[in-house]
Structure 1
Amino acid sequence: MVPVMDKAALEAFLAREFPQVRDDFVIEEVAPMAVRVRMVVAERHLRPGGTVSGPSMFALADVGIYLAILAMIGPKALAVTTNCSIDFMRKPAFGRDLICEARLLKLGRVLAVGDALIFSDGMEGAVARAGLTYSIPPTG
């Protein structure tokens, strides 16, 4: 399968549909059934102790899988998360961006299942791993 939306199309979609968060995420790569997305970590993403908050890491995983799905099926804004399980494995490096490598494991007519690995820029090993399921709106 070949992506139907490239990096520029996904960026334009994010800017149009989600202007409130478009500056938080940078799409680095789009491939068949996969994307790599960077979260530009700012003070608003931090929790006490100076580490990136769990909700911010969830947002990155969620956006990564969402963009991987859209890259394959086109701009369907109403695709929604139906399930997520996330494991926080180690503390991200202080003051570093996070990078999500999102890949789709299954892309069906109604459901998509994906896996997201989150890395702290410049640090060995993933800081979090998430499995997400999305509901895809019917065509037509």
Structure 2
Amino acid sequence: MTTPSHPGPSPAEIQAILRRGVPLAEDWGVEVLAAEAGTALLRLPARPLLLRPGNTVSGPALMGLADVAMWAALLSVSGGRDESVTSTMTVNFLRPAGAGPVLAEARLVKRGKRMVFGEILIRAEGSEALAAHVTTSWAVIAPG
């Protein structure tokens, strides 16, 4: 657990952990813009590979972004060590995200000893309109 005298890992450190743990995040160019106190803001840059017909970011790309955003939020409160795994994810696609960069804002809603519940809001960069609303639960696995 981090304290004010022992700050958590920086966004750059969390980004490095994410990219090592989920190599797809590196392939997609996922960036950690902020991560602290159980919240995280991640950016998925525009990439033709991630588009679906209709010239918008695909559902699988948005779900992957949501998943790593929640892990970044967890890493922000665990000193950069967290081996928890996704148990459930519910995604409500509200509107197309478009072909440009996408932002995911994750927050821990409840962090228990065995389960974590979180929420992720996804929107096109530069827009306030939600493209997707995601809720997720994770099974806590203590670091080895």
* TM beyond 0.5: yes
User: For structure 1, which segment, 8-17 or 100-109, has the greater mean C-alpha deviation from structure 2 after superposition?
Assistant: 8-17
Instruction: Calculate the TM-score normalised by the size of structure 2.
Output: 0.86
Stretches of 4+ aligned residues off by more than 6 angstroms: none
Q: Let me know the Cα RMSD of the aligned residues.
A: 1.9
Q: Give the aligned residue type for 2:139.
A: S
Alignment of 1:1-140 (within 5 A): 4-23=8-27, 24-76=29-81, 78-93=83-98, 95-139=99-143
Q: Give the aligned residue type for 1:104.
A: L
Between the two proteins, the alignment pairs up a number of residues equal to 139
Answer yes or no: is the 8 Å Cα contact 1:110–1:138 preserved in 2: no
Answer yes or no: is the 8 Å Cα contact 2:74–2:82 preserved in 1: no
Indicate the percent of aligned positions where both proteins have the same amino acid: 29
Instruction: Calculate the TM-score normalised by the size of structure 1.
Output: 0.89
SS at match of 2:23: coil
> CA–CA distance in 1 between the matches of 2:121 and 2:19?
24
Flag structure 2 segments of 5+ consecutive residues without an equivalent: none
> CA–CA distance in 1 between the matches of 2:118 and 2:46?
23
User: For structure 1, which segment, 68-77 or 104-113, has the greater mean C-alpha deviation from structure 2 after superposition?
Assistant: 68-77
Flag structure 1 segments of 5+ consecutive residues without an equivalent: none
